[in-house]
């Protein structure tokens, strides 16, 4: 399997950032997230909408030119993190790498080594803020892998950026539907000590695996749980199913009683605060609520507790962010949540329904979207399946011993399967 990097360069914004925008302060929520990258890889078939020469030469030029154009609007992504609280928007640029991989695109899931080759870098640096790698496969297919610093972006911002970039690639010079705003700190002033500006690394002895849940199986799961819980969402159902299976698996094959555990469920608060936030506001506009699990229970009970704790979150969460006491109230909410957490805790976030499968650079929409890796242990990420109505893919990062039990959990395997 031959791999070759054929080009690597910095892509700067097509227009320089004005002096008054050169220094960006991170918001309360930006400061609250760990220093890691949002990672996503988009796979595109060679669908003959573009000629071979176009895909190998002019297509990469289109990607680079449109990236330069979109970075004028997303200027912080071309800058550099200088501490845990601010960004120097200095037009240094995003890294763009082109590579050739002599294997079919269908071989990706057969080797962990291929996933590493698709990523733009594997170092320990916190910069650049944005890195992209275009990899061409032997079959003519392509993968576009994007690393974007979590300090400046949640999944909503990430998806909007990708679709804006693709829109410019399809229609050079076109205006963006909404011009992005990077002034979240004026709505949510930094009120806590930021996370250390040290990039998180994968813990030894952990493994990431992908599980597929067909829409029909999720529907059957909903029918079963709905006998006890009113109108559960597919996110709640799958989060609860995986969370319960993980906690049981932590007891090992000896089926010891599960240890007390907590799930941190990430929440997008854009539509849950008053007054409404600007549609164009970018950055991390997310927080979390906690779902404890003290003993082995039925699946419907986990879903019930999840819905109940979410409702409690919505009731207690300080919605009026313009109030002077907002930051102190939210800090109190976070402290109370952490105080309820068990030593064993897991994190679940959803990348569903954000439009990632609409990212079309001019040669068709992606055939598959996934994450090449998950850095943080005990993490669960839910993603859409393109060709499966209401189906979902779950990426799970666990200790190897826990994963060995998890992937054999009978209740889990009634509704999903390991992706091959």
CA 251, CA 372: separation in Å to the nearest integer?
28
Element (H, E) at 337: helix 326-339
The residue annotated as part of the active site, out of 107, 305, 360, 401, is: 360
- Annotation marks residue 65 as catalytic: no
CA 127, CA 298: separation in Å to the nearest integer?
45
> Which residue in this structure is represented by tokens 């969370």?
243
Q: Which residues are paired to 394 by β-bridges?
A: 211, 382
CA 371 to chain centre: 8
CA 279, CA 291: separation in Å to the nearest integer?
30
Q: How many CB atoms lie within 10 A of CB 410?
A: 8
CA 344, CA 346: separation in Å to the nearest integer?
7
Read off φ and ψ for residue 350, nearest 5 degrees: -110, 130
Q: How many CB atoms lie within 10 A of CB 398?
A: 25
Read off φ and ψ for residue 38, nearest 5 degrees: -75, 125
CA 12, CA 255: separation in Å to the nearest integer?
55
CA 274, CA 318: separation in Å to the nearest integer?
9
Strands (E), 175-235: 206-213
CA 311, CA 313: separation in Å to the nearest integer?
5
Tokens for 381?
A: 């990420």
Tokens for 387?
A: 């060709």
- Annotation marks residue 360 as catalytic: yes
The residue annotated as part of the active site, out of 45, 59, 73, 150, is: 150
Element (H, E) at 361: none
- How many Cα neighbours within 13 Å face the side chain of 227? 7
CA 67, CA 373: separation in Å to the nearest integer?
24
CA 103, CA 378: separation in Å to the nearest integer?
32
131's CB contacts (< 8 A; 6+ apart) are: 37, 94, 95, 96, 97, 120, 121, 146, 147
Tokens for 1?
A: 């399997």
Residue numbers annotated as active site: 150, 360
């Amino acid at each position: 399997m031959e791999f070759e990097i054929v080009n690597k360069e910095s892509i700067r914004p097509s227009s320089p950032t004005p002096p008054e925008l050169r220094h960006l302060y991170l918001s309360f929520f930006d400061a609250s997230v760990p220093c890691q990258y949002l990672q996503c890889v988009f796979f595109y078939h060679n669908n003959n909408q573009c000629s071979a020469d176009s895909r190998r030469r002019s297509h990469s030029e289109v990607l680079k030119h449109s990236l330069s154009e979109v970075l004028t609007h997303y200027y912080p992504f071309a800058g550099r993190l200088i501490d845990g609280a601010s960004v120097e928007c200095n037009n240094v640029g995003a890294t763009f790498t082109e590579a050739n991989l002599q294997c079919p695109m269908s071989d990706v899931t057969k080797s962990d080594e291929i996933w590493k080759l698709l990523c733009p870098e594997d170092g320990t640096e916190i910069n650049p803020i944005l890195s992209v790698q275009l990899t061409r496969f032997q079959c003519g297919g392509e993968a576009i892998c994007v690393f974007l610093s979590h300090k400046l972006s949640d999944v909503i911002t990430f998806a909007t950026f990708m679709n804006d970039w693709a829109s410019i690639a399809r229609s050079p010079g076109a205006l963006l539907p909404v011009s992005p705003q990077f002034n979240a700190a004026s709505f949510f002033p930094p009120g806590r000590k930021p996370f250390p500006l040290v990039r998180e690394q994968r813990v030894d002895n952990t493994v990431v695996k992908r599980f597929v849940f067909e829409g029909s199986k999720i529907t059957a799961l909903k029918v079963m749980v709905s006998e006890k819980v009113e109108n559960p969402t597919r996110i709640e159902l799958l989060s609860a199913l995986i969370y319960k299976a993980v906690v049981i698996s932590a007891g090992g094959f000896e089926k010891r009683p599960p240890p007390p555990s907590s799930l941190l469920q990430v929440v997008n608060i854009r539509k849950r605060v008053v007054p409404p936030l600007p549609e164009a506001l970018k950055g991390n506009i997310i927080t979390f609520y906690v779902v404890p699990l003290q003993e082995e229970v039925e699946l419907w009970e986990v879903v019930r507790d999840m819905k109940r704790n979410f409702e409690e979150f919505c009731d207690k969460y300080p919605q009026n962010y313009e109030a002077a006491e907002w930051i102190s109230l939210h800090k109190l909410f976070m402290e109370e949540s952490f105080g309820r957490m068990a030593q064993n805790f897991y994190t679940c976030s959803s990348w569903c329904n954000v439009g990632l499968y609409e990212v079309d650079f001019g040669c068709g929409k992606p055939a598959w979207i996934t994450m090449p890796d998950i850095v943080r242990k005990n993490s669960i990420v839910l993603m859409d399946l393109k060709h499966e109505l209401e189906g979902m893919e779950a990426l799970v990062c666990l200790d190897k011993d826990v994963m060995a039990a998890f992937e054999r959990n009978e209740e889990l395997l009634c509704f999903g399967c390991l992706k091959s």
